[in-house]
Structures are given as C-alpha cells and as structure tokens.
Amino acid sequence: MASTLHPLTSLTAAGCTAVITTAAGLWPLSLAVAFAAAVLAWRAGVGRRVLAAAAAVLLPLGLSLLMLHGLFFPEGRTVLAALGPARVTVEGLAFALEAGTRTGACVLVLLLFSFTVSAPDLVAALAARGLPPQVGFVLASALTLLPAMAGRIEAIRAAQEARGLVVGGSVLSRLAAVRVQMVPLVLGLIEESGSRAQALDARGFGSPGPRTAYRELADPPVQRRLRAALLLLAAVAVALRLGTSWPAAGLP
C-alpha cells in the first residue's frame, strides 16, 4: 500500500485481503497478514499510529472474546478448568484465538489503508469512476477521522480518570471502563461527521450539475490487472468458504 499505488489499488488490496482472511478462517494466515500489515505500516512511517489505533480497538474486543468463548463456549468438550457455570475449554479458546486473530488482521489491514492513502486522491479516483462526489467525501472524512481515534481515546481516558474513573482492577471493571470510554468517543465522531457534512453542503458539494476535476491520477494497466486478480481471488475464497460450509450445515 505504498504511495506509488493508485488509491483504488490500495482500497482493493485492503478490502480483498480482509475478505480472503475472513473467508479462510485460519489463525496462522491471520497472524501472517497482521504481521505483514504491521511491517508495511512501519516501513511507511505510520507504524506507531496504526498499532496504537489497533490496540484501542482490539484489546477490549480480545478481552470480550476471551470472556465469552473461553469461559462460556457451548460446544466445548475438552474442559481445562471449571469455575462454577464457567468452563475453560480447548474448543472455546481455539474459537476465541481464531476470531481474535482474524479480526485483528482485518483491523490492521484497514487501518494501514486509512493511514497511508491520500484522501484527495481517493476522492478524485472515485469521481473519475462516475461515483457521486458525496460518496468520496464521506469516505475521505471517515479516513481523516480514523487517525485521531487513538489520541481521542487517550484524552477521554485521562479526563475520566481525573474525574475518578478506576481503569485498573478486575477484568469486569476494565470492560465497564472501556464501555464508558467508548460512548463519548462515538458521540464525538458522529458530531464531527455532521459538522463536516454541513460544511461540504455549504460549499456546494451536494449540488447537481457537471463537475471539473483538477486532479488527474495515473492508473497503469498493471495495477488495473492487479485489482481484477485480487477481486477474482476474493470471489473464489468466498465461494470456497460457502461451498464448505453448506455440507457442514446440512444444506442441500
């Protein structure tokens, strides 16, 4: 996802990688994809920001997966430890590992794309493909908000700790603290998105009529063929996943 890539190539690579990783459902592949995304982010100079944002998303998610599936997995048979109604099973831990690594790989890949792609180039590329400009501006606004999430979470946490919020302690108290921190973060992002939408409307971006593009992007044929190959691989991965899941579900 280097800067020499066309924005649509970066978008296709990120989306297809996430789709293939999800369809495969193999934790070694997910770990490999996550490691590759981290290396690419570090080489692009955005490693610290990508890892900080990924940690803010994945740590509470990983704890919830461990709590739900590691302790209360209904299909668990091999019991490692029993704590009243909770049972630590090999199957539950394996499911939590697979789900956590798969989600982590997808999050890292998408964050890498959002931190390295040029929002103006992406808007111009989407407009050149005939998409409404509102679609490009909404996507560009989302991309510019993502890099600030890690810093906002730290600011919200510091403010709430100053008001007496206890983040340490047991796992349950930590999960409760994460929930309290997520509410102002989501509300703040929604408010800022609304402000940006109003600013765009005030400048006439939602008005109908012909438009003139002042930014031209080179789209080499090799990258167009690469996008087609990635989309084909993603479609094959989804088809194989559906084909193997139907017999397991007892469907005709």
pTM: 0.71
Give Cβ neighbours of residue 60 (< 8 Å, ≥ 6 apart).
175, 178, 182
* Pairwise CA distance, residues 147 & 150, whole Å: 7
* Pairwise CA distance, residues 113 & 252, whole Å: 39
What pLDDT, in 10s, does the model give residues 39-83? 999 999 988 888 888 887 888 888 888 877 777 777 777 877 777
Sequence spans of domains, the chain: 1-117, 119-205
Mean pLDDT of the chain: 77
Q: What is the mean pLDDT of residues 15-28?
A: 91
* Pairwise CA distance, residues 244 & 252, whole Å: 12
Handedness of CA 88, 89, 94, 95 (dihedral sign): negative
Handedness of CA 16, 18, 23, 24 (dihedral sign): positive
Beta bridge partners, 83, equal 86
What is the DSSP code (8-state) at residue 148?
G
**Residue 251 has what pLDDT?**
44
Q: What is the mean pLDDT of residues 138-148?
A: 61
Cα separation of the two ends of the chain: 41
Radius of gyration for the alpha carbons in the chain, expressed in angstroms and rounded: 21
